[in-house]
Structure 1
Amino acid sequence: MKIHEDTRPQKKQCLFIAFFCWICFPLLVTSSSAQTPQIDQWKAALNTKTTDSMRLHLLDKICYAYHKRSPDSIRFFSQKALSIAQKLQSKLAIAKIKNHFGASYFFQAKYKEAEKYYQESLNLFKEISHKLGTSVAYNNLANIYKQQGAYTKAIFYYQRGLSIQEKANNLRLMSVSYTNIATIYRFQKNYQKALEYNKKAVDLKKAINSQRGVAIVYTNIGMVHGEMKQYSLALEYLQKALTISQQLKLKNPLVFNNLSYIYSKLNQLDSAFFYAQKGLRMSIDIDDIKGKTISKINLAHIYFARQKYTYAIKNGEEALTLAQQNKRLISIKNISEVLFKCYMKLGSYKKAIESRTLLIQAKDSLFNLEKNKQLVEIETRYETQKKEQQIILKNNQITLLKKEKQHETLLKYTFVGAFISLFFLGSLLVMFLRLRVSKNKQLIIQNQQLHDAETKLTKAQLNEKKLLAETLKKELEIKQQQLASKALHIIQKNEILEKVKESIQSLKKDNKVNVTQLARLVDSGIQIDKDWNNFFALFLEVHQGFFDKLKGISDELSDTELRLCALVKLKFTSKEIASILGITHGSTSVARHRIRKKLSIPSDEKLAKFIDDL
């Protein structure tokens, strides 16, 4: 679970848009259901209003009412408003409409298009010297850069908007700027700065008697303390926010969801469940998809903690559907993790694998997104430093020009003397350069000769190493062939001894003895035993230190087990090893198991690979 679903909540990012429209006309929107009749009334009034200015005012209201609800509707009515504004040649109206266009794309996360319209809006506000509109445009651009992770650039634009607001002493917009800056510092995990700016925002909200604003900032402060794992302080501020919200009858699921998170962290599951349910009901009432998703995730975690895995899966699957529809990667990651745990507990391994795959994909996407944000941040810092350096360079150039003018008169009087001095120095320099060139030529010739000699020596050394490597390679191939030949002789020996065994068994049956033949078979077996000794002597030449390494790991290995390890090293099959050692295939498997145990080889690693790596 996370203390908040999306580290850049759009609601707070667009407060400047809201305040801008609030200043243009008084409007209080309590919920989406309450807005719909008003929007319908304004639409109907469009047909009754006779003047363009009145229709333009209504279209402005309608566009604002559709913020965060229907970006396509914003663009539809903004286009109508733009036609009227262009007809009236009102740059202020056009600037406001460009702001609406930018907002419509912002809510759809189409930041390139949003930046284009916000920049056009900023240029128009500057052109007509509209200070308030200019500050709003700066903050809207900052919201885009915040979304893209360009935090340095975002703070730069927030500060530019804030400077205008401070000069105008607009406490309301100043408080929103402080809130947005605090949010960025929280994203950067600079919690002390985040608390500092949030407290500035609270003071201004209280000064303008905005209890709703105080509740929002208290929620933000609670989130900061939650991320700092200061859960007591987090509960204190979240409870303050909840009290104010209830007094004002505000529907803010974020408070309930964060309270649920904190109580879960404190393992107070009953309280966590209570606030998660409250948050869910409130999110459903106001059709808050994001709030509904977070509530479902919280409930899934709580049910998992209570070992009610079926209920946890039900809520988790519903949250996952909402998160996937709205492409919320953090929510997808969080819920995939709890679903994976639930399915594992229930033994639904196929479903668990699907959830695990989804979790890995979400983590990879978030990792790539974070890397892209870091790149954007680095590029932004580079551009900022480059601009600062250009300003410094320009100032230096101006200073230099001033000094040049001051010394211009002096230079005129000293020009002749300087010319003579330069001519004399130039003559000396030419002589020096000629001498230097001559010495450099000699040095170049000597260096070339030295280089040629070193090149020849290097080639000779390389050829010598190449010949040595080829010789060693041939020797190794010969020894490998000899090892294979020795192994074949051992196999033949075992076959002879097997025939001896069969002859003995035959003697028991018919009491017929062919002593001469039996003696010859035994002699052959004894002779091939010498080949076995030769085989291991040759093996040690090819694989020096092999047995020492094995004994260094475990000194409990028997001679037979050491022989088996050598044959595995030579990549003989189990059947061939059994024939060489004169044992059954089953005995070979038992011997391999004993070797694994003595060498403490992990169960997921093959014996052949372990021995081959020695």
Structure 2
Amino acid sequence: MSYICNLLPMNNMPLRLLNRVLIYCSIIWSVSCSTPSGDLDLQAVQTALETPIDYGKDTAALEQQVGTLCRQAEEENDALLLWAYYLRMADGYSIAHDGVNDRSDAFFQEAQALAAEINRPALLLVTNIRNGYYLFTYRKISEAIPYFMYASTLLDESDLRQVPQLVRHMDYLARFFSYIGDHKRAVAAVERGLQFTSASSRQEAEMYNAMAVYLKRDNKPEEAVGYFSKALEVARQAKDTVWVGIVLGNLADMKYQNGEVEEAITDLKQNIAYSIQYGEHLDAMRALINLSEMYVNENRYVQAKDAVQQAIPYIEEKPYFLVYKLKVSKLLAKIAQYEGDWEVELAQLNRVVRLQEAIAKREDAEHLQRSYWRWKQERDQNALAAVADLKRRNQIYLRVGLFILFLMTVIGGLLIGRYRQRLRTRTLLLEKKRMEETLERQQMGEEIAVLRSSLDEFTNTLRINDLVIQKLKEENSTEKDNNFSESLENLLDSHLMTDTRWLKFKAIFDRVHHGYLAELKRQHPQLTENDLRIIALQKLELSNRSMGDILGISVDGVKKAKQRLKKKLDVDIYQDADVLERK
């Protein structure tokens, strides 16, 4: 940034462009390193804004001395110090040129850009007030109005506790508005500043006095007297004799209007003494002229002449002093008339006429100018009000839009949540059903395995019984024993498939073979229970002889039954093509 500081006084455009780039890099870094609270280091900024800048026309000394702020800003990476540097350089160049100039304009532009980049309303407020007051000082009123109007809008957006030199800047604002005739705005600005003045200080006395002056101009003399009295009390508490004198002088005018002549003259004399003692020559001149007028009105011409003669050395050859020159000429004419010096009286009266013509032209011009300023002020105020109204409406639309978006997001979230909940519930139900089916299949598989085992055991039992029965029959043919025959008959009875046994067997068979008999019955309703018995036993691969023993019929009966089945079905319903022919 020291490189930046060295570049700032130059007019080389490429270097200026590079300067801006480097400045904004510094700003971004500075802002990124700033404290989260966003509070300004007021003491440091206010100290920077007090940096001496009056080096006459020696701009080299100005750049050298004030440039320390820029170098410090570089070392500390502090954008606020850089902003203060720009403002002090702008003020310094205005003093050096004693008027509006390009260098001051450029530095104010830098300060405006930096304040906007940092995005602190308090800094923008100060920058606009100082830029406007700079133009106002050199009577560029039309150019100053937009800055002061914008500053007025920033007042409501700014935390006044964070505004550097707030009281001073409120005083600048008030002076401008009073000058263009808007005394109400001037009073409002002073009221804001009064809240932040130190108790029993010169600053507080000055602000109370300013409030009284603006109220007096706004034709509110009673309120004005009250504030003049407060200003005098504060000035005395602060032991500030300069301001004691100034306020006494202001009160003297009002006392004289109320008929308190001697009190007014006494106050004016004290004002004059303090002003001369502390070098307040402008105030001493005004007080001496006012005192001379009072003496003339009271026919105390000797004292009036002495007072006006003391005032003349303080009058300067500037347009601002025309009014005071006119007052002096009128006083001298009246004093000369009292003294009988007709020649001096005529000369002063001629001078009064010339001064009145000059002032009349000036007042006419100022009246027109003030009318223009008020119109421009109202126009700018309306434009700012329109912008503010548009901003408010946009904010309302934005808030409504955000609220609608929020509602849509909430509703969407609820719908998505509900859908997800349903999906989770459905998934859980499907998972539950799948697990139930799996468990059911497992249980069914286990049951089928048990049934299959039972069926296999039953089949094996039938086969074993069949072998035993055949063996017993062969033995029975050679031995004629009644007990043996009885045992054979008992075995045949136990081996025989009764209706009750068939139903139990059928249920197990269908479970093991997945409803084979039931499906066969559904497809061929003409099948009887006996037919189903033949089919089931054949499925177990039993021989015709074993089937006959189980069913209680002969082998031929079994064969005939199979033949009937073939006719009924007209198709081979067994797994093997020759199963019905198996012996």
* TM-score, normalised with respect to structure 2: 0.48
* TM-score, normalised with respect to structure 1: 0.46
The structure whose Rg is larger is 2
